[in-house]
Amino acid sequence: MRLSSAVSSLKPSATIAAAAKAKALKQQGVTVYDFTLGEPDFTTPKHICDAAVAAMEAGHTHYTPANGILELKQAICETYKREYGLTYTPQQVVVSNGAKHSIHNVLTALCGPGDEVIIPTPYWVSYSALVELTGATPVLVPTTQESGFCLTAEQFEAAITDKTCLLMLNNPCNPTGAAYPIDMLEALAKVAVERNIPVLSDEIYEKLIYDGSEFRSFASFGPEVQALTIIVSGVSKAYAMTGWRIGWTLGPVDVTTAMSDLQSQQTSNPCSISQYASLAALNGPQECLGEMLEKFAERRRYVLDRLNNIPGLSFATPGGAFYAFFDVSSYFGKPLQGGIVVDNASDFCTALLEVAHVALVTGDAFGAPGYVRLSFATSLDVLEAGLNRLEAFLAGDQ
Ligand code: PMP
Ligand code: GLU
C-alpha cells in the first residue's frame, strides 16, 4: 500500500528499537546487560497502585474529560505553585498519554510546514521525528562537552530566523544528563522574551537532580517568560510510572485549549485509572522520590567512577536524569574484543551487544556521533557486571 509522505520517512524510536534488540537476544536464552531504556527499574510505589485499584472499584472506568479529570489538573496546579511558585489554572493544563504524547500535542498545536524548530543537540531521539511529522524543519544546534552540553544564549539567538516557531529545551537532558545552570537558563529566557520565541520546556527529569546541580522550571523567570513557555512533564520518571502513560503540559490558555481540542479528536482522554493513580502520586507521601533518588545517585557515582577509570573514554558529568553519555571514538579503528574493528558508534553498539552482550544506545540516534548512552536506571549488580564486560570489550584480546 502507498504510505503517506509523513510516515514513509519515519524511523522507529532508536531507544525502543535498541531495547527490542536486547530483548530478542534475551529471548534466545542469552544473559544480556541491558542499559538501553530510560526507565526506572523500581516498581510503582504501593500507595499509587492501591489508588488505581480503589479507582477501579469506585467505578472510575469510563471516559473522562479529554484533557483529564479536574482533580488531577488541580493537583498539578497545586504542585507547580508549591514547588516553583508558579500560578496556573486547571484550564491551562492538559493531561495526556505520557509526556511523549504531550510533546506531540505541543508541536501539532504550534508548528507546521515552513516553520523551524530549534533543537539543541544532543537531543532525545523523538524530538526531530515529532517535529518532522508536523511538516516543520528541525534546526539542530550542536552543544559541546566542554559547555556541559548546554545551549548558550548566543547560540540560541544565532539560530533564530523569521521562520522560528519554537525552541525545544530539555532540562535535565536526555541523553547527556546536562542540568542547566540557573544563569544560563535565565539568559535563554531573556532571548526568548526579546525575540518572542515560544519555548517547549521538557522537564520530565525535574526530580532527578544530583549533588552540585539545581533545577529551576523555565516558566519561573517571570510572567513574560511564563507566557511563552509550555512546560512538559509527567509521572513516568519521578514516580517509576512509565507504563501508566500519564504526562502533562502547562501553558497559555490558547495553546492548552487547542491541545485539548486536538486530543478530543485524536485519543479522547488518557486512561482514567492511571489518572487516579497519578493523583495519588502527586497528593500522596513524597518519601518515595527521595528513596529512589538516593539509589540513582549511588548508581551514578558508581558508573562515573568506573567510566573515569577506563582509558580513552570521556564525558561531561551528568547533573541530572539517569544517563551516562560518553565518547567512545578513541576506540574506533582499534581491535576490540574478538578482533572486531568499528569506526562509528552504531557499529560499536552492535558489536558490544553481539560480543559482550551489553546493550547501549548509539549516540548517532541523539545527533551525537562518537558517543553512546548508558541508562543507569538499573541495579548496581547489573551495572557492575555490565561495566566489567564493557571494560573487557574495550581492552580487546590481550
Ligand atoms: N521527554 C524525554 C526527554 C524523555 O526522555 C522521555 C522518555 N520517555 C519523555 C519525554 C517521554 O516520557 P513518557 O514516558 O511520559 O512519554
Ligand atoms: N525516554 C526513554 C529513553 O530515552 C524511554 C524510551 C523512549 O520513550 O524513547 O530511553
228-251: pLDDT as tens digits? 999 999 999 999 999 999 999 999
Distance 14 CA to ligand 2 centre (A): 9
Q: Verify that 301 and 203 share a domain, yes or no.
A: no
Mean pLDDT of 168-181: 98
d(CA 350, CA 24): 13
Domain count, the chain: 2
102 lines ligand 2 (CB under 6 A): no
Q: Is the pLDDT of residue 315 over 80?
A: yes
Amino acid at residue number 5: S
22 lines ligand 2 (CB under 6 A): no
Q: Verify that 164 and 311 share a domain, yes or no.
A: no
Distance 94 CA to ligand 2 centre (A): 21
CATH of the domain at 19: 3.90.1150.10
Distance 390 CA to ligand 2 centre (A): 22
Closest ligand 1 atom to 245 CA:
15
Q: Verify that 190 and 338 share a domain, yes or no.
A: no
Distance 15 CA to ligand 1 centre (A): 11
Question: Minimum-distance ligand to the CA of 174?
Answer: 1
Whole domain around residue 238: which residue ranges? 47-283
Q: Give the residue from 252, 283, 314 where a domain finishes.
A: 283
Question: Minimum-distance ligand to the CA of 247?
Answer: 1
Residues 101/75, Cβ–Cβ less than 8 Å: no
Distance 37 CA to ligand 2 centre (A): 6
Distance 320 CA to ligand 2 centre (A): 15
How much is the mean pLDDT over the chain? 97
- Please report, rounded to a whole number, the percentage of residues in the chain having pLDDT higher than 70: 100
The per-residue pLDDT for 6 is 87
234 lines ligand 1 (CB under 6 A): yes
Q: Using pLDDT thresholds of 50, 70 and 90, give the confidence band for residue 397.
A: confident
129 lines ligand 2 (CB under 6 A): no
250 lines ligand 2 (CB under 6 A): no
What pLDDT digit, counting tens, does each position of 39-58 carry? 999 999 999 999 999 999 99
Distance 333 CA to ligand 2 centre (A): 30
**Inter-CA distances, 229 with 127, 152, 194, Å:** 17, 18, 14
Q: Verify that 105 and 119 share a domain, yes or no.
A: yes
Residue of minimum CA distance from atom 9 in ligand 2? 15
321 lines ligand 1 (CB under 6 A): no
- Please report, rounded to a whole number, the percentage of residues in the chain having pLDDT higher than 90: 97
Q: Verify that 270 and 365 share a domain, yes or no.
A: no
The per-residue pLDDT for 1 is 95
Q: Verify that 39 and 126 share a domain, yes or no.
A: no
CATH of the domain at 143: 3.40.640.10
Q: Give the residue from 230, 250, 283 where a domain finishes.
A: 283
Q: Which of 15, 174, 201 to mutate to test the pocket of ligand 1 (most atoms within 8 A of CB)?
A: 174
Q: Is the pLDDT of residue 326 over 80?
A: yes
Distance 359 CA to ligand 2 centre (A): 14
300 lines ligand 1 (CB under 6 A): no
Q: Verify that 26 and 110 share a domain, yes or no.
A: no
Q: Verify that 129 and 259 share a domain, yes or no.
A: yes
Q: Verify that 228 and 170 share a domain, yes or no.
A: yes
15 lines ligand 1 (CB under 6 A): no
Q: Verify that 323 and 350 share a domain, yes or no.
A: yes
Q: Verify that 293 and 366 share a domain, yes or no.
A: yes
The per-residue pLDDT for 212 is 87
The per-residue pLDDT for 9 is 87
What pLDDT digit, counting tens, does each position of 68-110 carry? 999 999 999 999 999 999 999 999 999 999 999 999 999 999 9
The per-residue pLDDT for 295 is 97
Length of the chain: 398
Q: Give the residue from 263, 283, 303 where a domain finishes.
A: 283
Q: Verify that 18 and 55 share a domain, yes or no.
A: no
The per-residue pLDDT for 313 is 97
Q: Which of 13, 15, 23, 100 to mutate to test the pocket of ligand 2 (most atoms within 8 A of CB)?
A: 15
79 lines ligand 2 (CB under 6 A): no
The per-residue pLDDT for 129 is 96
Q: Using pLDDT thresholds of 50, 70 and 90, give the confidence band for residue 144.
A: very high
